[in-house]
A and B are shown apart, each in its own frame.
Chain A
Amino acid sequence: EAGVTQSPTHLIKTRGQQVTLRCSPISGHTSVYWYQQALGLGLQFLLWYDEGEERNRGNFPPRFSGRQFPNYSSELNVNALELEDSALYLCASSLRDTYGYTFGSGTRLTVV
């Protein structure tokens, strides 16, 4: 069974640009979660999608947004990139109403 896949694995962007990160959940999983792991800040919850809808949102500005597609894959979009957006972005998936996510390997975003 394929795990959670994220693309790209690494990305370098310039301040002010926009970026899109992608996540494919485990087959059959309907919930997708996004986390930001920035140096010194730990793992911060960004977004939770389930059945195509945003269910919960962390304490991030509106320039962080995303969506979930009918096949349950998901995109995370970040507009107007700032230097402090440099981080590892982790995607996880789960069956709805089950506990314990499966994480992907992440996308390392560097903003210069």
Chain B
Amino acid sequence: AQSVTQLDSQVPVFEEAPVELRCNYSSSVSVYLFWYVQYPNQGLQLLLKYLSGSTLVKGINGFEAEFNKSQTSFHLRKPSVHISDTAEYFCAVIPGGATNKLIFGTGTLLAVQP
């Protein structure tokens, strides 16, 4: 079964420092990959998505992610974080095929400290 692994449950980082949130997926077929952000007491907001084409995907709020097929990874990066980036970040995948079901990882809490 398709799965998504976010190894880091929490990532503390100082303001203006770079950050990378890791995501690995298991799949033997093509997949569509996503990153969502959830601010406290809110729903999920799409940061970026990879469907095809360039493996470097740029999203909102200065985030980007790189699809690496050989390593089955889709890590999220930002060169300089702000306090306002403190939130839960979810990696998700739609396995290639007939289903449109989005499968989420367990989330990574990005805690930006001043």
Contacts and interface: CB of A to CB of B under 8 A. Distances in A.
B44 A48 contact: no
B42 A45 contact: no
B68 interface: no
A95 to B, nearest CB: 10
Contacts of B94: 99
A102 interface: yes
B50 to A, nearest CB: 10
A105 B42 contact: yes
Contacts of B90: 43
What interface size band does chain A fall in? 20 to 34
B63 interface: no
Interface in A20-52: 31, 33, 35, 42-43, 45, 48, 50
Given A99-B32, A99-B49, A100-B49, A45 B103 contact: yes
Interface of A: 4, 31, 33, 35, 42-43, 45, 48, 50, 55-56, 58, 90, 92, 94, 96-97, 99-106
11 contacts: A31-B100, A33-B101, A45-B101, A45-B103, A48-B101, A56-B101, A90-B43, A99-B94, A103-B43, A103-B44, A104-B43
Interface of B: 32, 34, 36, 42-46, 49, 51, 90, 94, 99-107
